[in-house]
Amino acid sequence: MSKRLIVVLTLLFVVGIAFAAYAEVQNVKVSGDIVASWVGRKHFGLFNSVLGDKSQFNQNLFMTQARIRVDADLTDNVMATVRLINERVWNGNNDTNTGGDNKIDLDLAYVALKEFLYSPLSITVGRQEIRFGNGLVMGNAKTGTGSVNIPSDLTLRKAFDAVRATLNYDPLIVDLLYAKVRQESYTSAIGSAVGADRGNKDDINLMGVNASYAINKNTNASVYYYHKNDKYKGGSAAAGGKSDEVSTIGGLVSSTPIENLTASLEAAYQFGRSNTTDTTQKNHQGYAVQAMADYTFAKVKTTPKIGVSWTYLSGGRATDDKNAGWDPMFYDQKLNNITYTLLPFTNMNVINLKASCKPMDDVTVYANYGYYEVAKTKSGETITSPFSYNGTNAYYTTTYTNKTHLGDAIDLTATYDYTEDVQFALTGGWFKPGRALAVDERDATQLIGSMKVVF
């Protein structure tokens, strides 16, 4: 057989495969959203600089976040989803194809197999969003590696690279998952210098199970277990530090005991070994409790709604013989907007009071007040803001004092539904740091205006 014939047959085979794959697509849906925002922030460093500049730390920027998503239904209960994302500050000087504002990343990329092997089982493989309950423990991977030019707390990226198996035994639903949260390197150089290439020694792996049971139409209960193996936190390459391993077990009950009233109660306990240095570890024993209640006055014209929540995240001291501080895991909650950006999600005792109403059919006004205290007083221990202003640098680093008051926060938000597809929003925030922080010289404020289009 001549080489020319072989080439022709090969091309025909490739074309046939491509045509067959195209013919198997039953339905394709294209959707997405675009959010254009202005962000103004003042005093997010919570202090006056040593040079006397009383405006530190300020930000003033416009940004656009755009996502486009393609969902394809294939045969035999097979679905594929791809979503691309671009998050950019309005700055033409930074439009580069490598690492700049012009960068387009893969936000979602997964395949879902329904009724896999037998009808109750579904499998989802790839980059996907995973959120359980109220997001106290699981909901945001917080990698944010692509959002290098916007404040990392404002990124829309939350997805995990994971395998998820869902068993639907209605009213019982069981989810099992494995996620590779961080992969430092998948190779290890033979004969390399110590610390030059650690292979997979800087990985972060997550395994877990979440079981949810609908007791009745008004009440749902769930229990969960997650195990995080953090080799990245385990120490430097030269020292060969051990992994930081935390297991979280907990339960959540959500209910509508009476009409228009929703309530939930969640409690979780953590155990494992907590890495403190490259060679020293402590037993980890942390816990969290969260209670929420919201009531809607549905028969009132402006539909007012009031709510209250209490969040307790345990804390510990470095001098204790165990680490009693709550590990934030992969939480996806904003108790208040500015505190979400500036305060680590641990060692806090928070009460939130919330209210909203609709003065017009298309307008919603929302207010949220938060009172913050430390769960356990600390003195001299370092605290760093969990998010960064440019994807790399934290807003501030300071220490705890021996006081209890972390601060007070208020959020005010107004949204206007221009059409079913377009929404305008204006949100303002204020945070007055308390004496529990060594930096409490300046109140942090922010104002964010946005327009969101969904298609």
- What would the mean pLDDT of 207-234 be, rounded to a whole number? 92
pLDDT at 51 over 50: no
**Cβ-based neighbour number of residue 139 at 10 Å:** 20
Between these two residues, 194 and 212, which has the higher pLDDT value?
Answer: 212
The reported pLDDT for the residue numbered 424 is: 98
- What would the mean pLDDT of 329-334 be, rounded to a whole number? 96
pLDDT at 258 over 90: yes
Between these two residues, 388 and 241, which has the higher pLDDT value?
Answer: 388
- Contacts of the segment 52-55: beta carbons below 8 A, 24+ positions apart: 54/442
Residues in the chain: 455
Helices within 24-81 (DSSP H only): none
The conformational region for residue 217 under phi > 0 = left, psi -120 to 50 = alpha, else beta, is alpha
If DSSP codes are grouped into helix, strand and coil, which group holds residue 430? strand
Tens of pLDDT, residue by residue over 339-354, are 999 999 999 999 999 9
- What would the mean pLDDT of 311-336 be, rounded to a whole number? 89
Question: pLDDT band for position 234 (50/70/90)?
Answer: low
In the chain, what percentage of residues exceed pLDDT 90? 63
Q: What is the pTM of this model?
A: 0.87
**Cβ proximity of 157 and 166 under 8 Å:** no
Name, of 73-77, 83-87, 394-398, the range with top average pLDDT: 83-87
Between these two residues, 4 and 227, which has the higher pLDDT value?
Answer: 227
In the chain, what percentage of residues exceed pLDDT 70? 81
The reported pLDDT for the residue numbered 309 is: 98
Q: Give the residue carrying structure tokens 């997964």.
A: 110
The reported pLDDT for the residue numbered 95 is: 57
In sequence order, what are the residues at sequence separation of 6 or more whose Cβ sits closer than 8 angstroms to the Cβ of residue 196?
189, 237
Please choose, from the candidates 169, 148, 156, 270, the residue with its C-alpha nearest in 3D space to the C-alpha of residue 211: 169
The reported pLDDT for the residue numbered 307 is: 98
Mean pLDDT over all residues of the chain? 85
The reported pLDDT for the residue numbered 49 is: 58
Tens of pLDDT, residue by residue over 162-194, are 999 999 999 999 999 999 998 876 554 444 444
pLDDT at 429 over 90: yes
Q: What is the distance between the alpha carbons of residues 138 and 181, in angstroms, rounded to a whole number?
A: 12
pLDDT at 107 over 90: yes
Tens of pLDDT, residue by residue over 392-407, are 788 888 899 999 999 9
pLDDT at 321 over 70: yes
The reported pLDDT for the residue numbered 93 is: 55
Beta bridge partners of 80: 72, 111
Question: pLDDT band for position 100 (50/70/90)?
Answer: low
**Cβ proximity of 310 and 291 under 8 Å:** yes
The reported pLDDT for the residue numbered 428 is: 98
Amino acid letter, residue 197: D
In sequence order, what are the residues at sequence separation of 6 or more whose Cβ sits closer than 8 angstroms to the Cβ of residue 2?
none
- What would the mean pLDDT of 230-244 be, rounded to a whole number? 62
CATH number for region 3-454: 2.40.160.100
